[in-house]
Amino acid sequence: MFDSVTLEDLHDIVDALSTALDAKNSYMCGHSERVAELSLLMAQTMGLSLAEQERIHIGAHLHDIGKIGIPDAILNKPGKLTEEEFDTIRQHPEIGGTIVEKIKVFRSVSDIVHHHHERFDGKGYPDGLCGEEISLGARIVAVADSFDAMTTMRTYRSAFGVCEAIEEMERCKGSQFDPTIVEILKRLAFEKKLQSTCNRDFAYRLVIA
């Protein structure tokens, strides 16, 4: 899938891009890595092929890469954003999709980067896709992304606990999220693969047996 580039080389590139993104916003630090690990864990639990697991893992690492193109004043703004600022933030999936499309070894994950903010009910962005029109990888990353966002502290709110975040995911399944993938997340929580911690930067950790 990635021609002559080794998997180790690929992860080095991904790590470098993720580090560049983390440097723009302290609250994003570690976010892409956590989303990638949770996405991989869900893909493994669903029994997806090793190739698809790896594709989802890499796509999740790069899902927010388009935020490199968002002004720092918006990314680092304390408090809630205005509607105009939200409109700017909402451009990041398209910016990210354009970035990964330009890099041959990453083109296979462009669907994940471009569509991780689509909603299962078709009310997401940027293309208003619904249900299985959204790739499975993008649907998995959407769940992992939202779960991590909820369980991480923000300037305007405290971090949710794991149980509280799971309740919110449950409330939004079938509308924002693919119900099947929410059930996978709940299963991981029930099996204690997700555990709360008191660390300010890591509101949960993955427990991989």
Closest by Cα among 26, 31, 18 to 77 = 26
In percent, the amount of the chain with pLDDT more than 70 equals: 87
Model confidence pLDDT, tens digit, residues 73-114: 898 887 788 999 999 999 999 999 999 999 888 999 999 999
Does residue 26 register a pLDDT over 70?
A: no
> What confidence score (pLDDT) does residue 24 get?
74
> What confidence score (pLDDT) does residue 203 get?
41
> What confidence score (pLDDT) does residue 5 get?
66
Closest by Cα among 54, 63, 64 to 8 = 54
Q: What is the mean pLDDT of the chain?
A: 86
- The pair of three-digit structure tokens given for residue 124, joined into one six-digit string: 């997401």
Place of tokens 């993720």: 18
User: Under DSSP, is residue 2 helix (H, G, I), strand (E, B) or coil?
Assistant: coil
- Is the model's pTM score more than 0.85? yes
Tell me the pairing of strands 204-206 and 194-196.
antiparallel
Q: Which fold has domain 7-192?
A: Hypothetical protein af1432 (1.10.3210)
Does residue 173 register a pLDDT over 80?
A: yes
Each residue of 26-58: b (16+ CB within 10 Å) or e? eebbebbbbbbbbbbbbbeeeebeeeebbbbbb
Does residue 198 register a pLDDT over 50?
A: no
Choice among 50-59, 86-95, 167-176, 197-206 with the minimum mean pLDDT = 197-206
**What integer is the mean pLDDT of 168-172?**
95
> What confidence score (pLDDT) does residue 207 get?
47
Sign for the pseudo-dihedral over CA of 89, 90, 91, 95 = positive
Please list the residues that pair with 157 across neighbouring strands.
Answer: 154
Domain boundaries, the chain: 7-192
- The pair of three-digit structure tokens given for residue 123, joined into one six-digit string: 């009310």
- Radius of gyration of the CA atoms of the chain, in A: 16
Does residue 196 register a pLDDT over 90?
A: no
Distance CA 180, CA 177 (A): 9
In percent, the amount of the chain with pLDDT more than 90 equals: 60
Choice among 24-28, 30-34, 144-148, 169-173 with the minimum mean pLDDT = 24-28
Asked if 33 contacts 15 with a C-beta cutoff of 8 angstroms, the reply is no
**What integer is the mean pLDDT of 62-71?**
93
